[in-house]
Amino acid sequence: MFFVNNFKDVERDRYSVFAEWQGELQTDLKLQSGVRLSRVNMDAGVVNTSMNMAPVVALRDQFNNSDRSQEDNLVDLTFVLTKTLNQDIDIEFGLARKQRSASYQERYLWLPLQSTSGLADGNNHLGNVNLDAETSYQAELGLDWHTARSGISPRIFYHHINDYIQGTAIPASNTAAIGVSTMMGGDTTPLQYQNVDAKLYGIDANWFAVITNDWQLDGTVSYVRGERRDTSDNLYRIAPLTARTMLSYIQTTWRVGFEAETVAAQNKISTENEEIKTSGYALFNLTGNYQPTESITLSAGVNNLFDREYQDHLGGYNRISMADNPDLTTGDRLPGIGRSAYVGVNVNW
């Protein structure tokens, strides 16, 4: 009595050929390089629905009459030069060109629904058959400083992206899509996947320090800033500054670690997409492993040791009316994972 053909006979085929080369240009200068050529062919069948309302019929016919057979020819290039200054310090410089073709959800979601491959951002989305492939021009500068007892490897990067694929507000002129979205889930401001111009820049770093023969500190830091180049807005759904620090007690056959995961507040949000800010938080984890033989390693741990309540900025939103749950109403961000424990065994042979 009721049906919607959402993704009907969708195909996405990718064919690639690649080559890599790495070696020494001179004694203290190494090069890693690569090229990948890809062909992405996509197609979708004719869709239908039992809903005979005029806006739905208009969207269905528009999709069925579009050129659903699409193809992208992608070219990826990578060059990384590593210069050894001395036995403790290396400098690394990289350039790359990376391309990404649209996913089948981004291209073939013909009704404004939430079939967004786990995005779960509280918005209905509409696909776009005519999306171009993303093209990112990337530059990275890094330093590796390492001794027997300490080391740090920071990387700064910049990505200049043309045709970045992101959900943007559907124009008011598309009354059919807005009307259907309002009816199906009550989202009066749905998003449609579009190509925009963007830039990403930031820093990644990992480090370690040996305190004594038994104690060691290590960690990572990651920060990325995303901005649109075609408007003054921030990019949508960008992770905040994050750092992980672990204090470990190390013996020959076993190791115990206490980890702090600290996440800053995210205030650099997309106002055009009505994105909501999130607060910072800190989680603490326990981890350990024991190696009784050369081939067997036992591991165990507890994550979020103090059962801290928090909200992951990239987490989803609750779309279900839960009258019996006063802690989580419709439209609230879903809470992060509470305290959890795990055990594992790894066998090598």
C-alpha distance from residue 211 to each of 60, 87, 125, 216 (Å): 65, 22, 51, 5
Would you say residue 45 lies in a domain? no
Reading the block at residue 330, the tokens are 């419709």
**Alpha carbon distance 108, 139 (integer Å):** 33
Q: Backbone phi, then psi, for 57, in 5-degree steps? A: -60, -40
Domain carrying residue 348: 211-349
In a domain, 200, yes or no: no
Mean pLDDT for the stretch of residues 271-291: 95
Choice among 37-46, 86-95, 282-291, 315-324 with the minimum mean pLDDT: 315-324
User: 333 vs 116, which has greater pLDDT?
Assistant: 333
List b or e across 5-32, with b for residues whose CB sees 16 or more CB atoms inside 10 angstroms.
Answer: bebbeeebeeeeeeeeeeeeeeeeebee
pLDDT at 196: 97
Cα–Cα dist 263/299, whole Å: 26
Structure confidence by residue, pLDDT tens digits, 140-177: 999 999 998 999 999 999 999 999 999 999 888 889 99
CA atoms of 134 and 43, how far apart (whole Å)? 19
Does some domain include residue 217?
yes
Q: Is the pLDDT of residue 64 over 80?
A: yes
pLDDT at 183: 84
Identify the three-state secondary structure at position 116. Answer: coil
d(CA 192, CA 208): 44
Per the domain annotation, does 256 fall within a domain?
yes
Give a yes or no: residue 224 inside a domain: yes
Position 106, amino acid: E
Q: Helix 54-64 and helix 175-183: axis angle, to 10°?
A: 120
pTM value is 0.90
Beta strands in 229-329 (DSSP E): 242-250, 254-263, 281-290, 296-303
SS3 56: helix
Whether residue 259 is contained in a domain is answered as yes
- Is 278 exposed, middle or buried, given 0-12, 13-18 or 19+ CB atoms closer than 10 A? buried
Q: Is residue 292 part of a domain?
A: yes
Contact 280, 240 (CB under 8 A): yes
Measured CA to CA, the distance from residue 109 to residue 191 in angstroms comes to 11
Considering all CA atoms of the chain, what is the largest pairwise distance in Å, rounded to the nearest integer? 74
Number of domains in the chain: 1
At residue 235, the 3 state secondary structure works out as: coil
Q: Are 101 and 133 in contact (CB under 8 A)?
A: yes
Average pLDDT over residues 247-262: 96
Q: Taking all residues of the chain, what is their mean pLDDT, rounded to a whole number?
A: 93
State the Cα angle at 310 between 332 and 227, rounded to 5°: 75
CB 290 within 8 A of CB 205: no
In a domain, 50, yes or no: no
Using 50, 70 and 90 to split pLDDT, how confident is the model at 95? Answer: very high
Report the distance separating Cα 10 and Cα 41, nearest Å. 11
Look-up of token digits 């530059």: 139
Q: How confident is the model at residue 290 (pLDDT cuts 50, 70, 90)?
A: very high
Return the beta strands (E) in 28-107 as ranges. Answer: 29-43, 70-84, 89-100
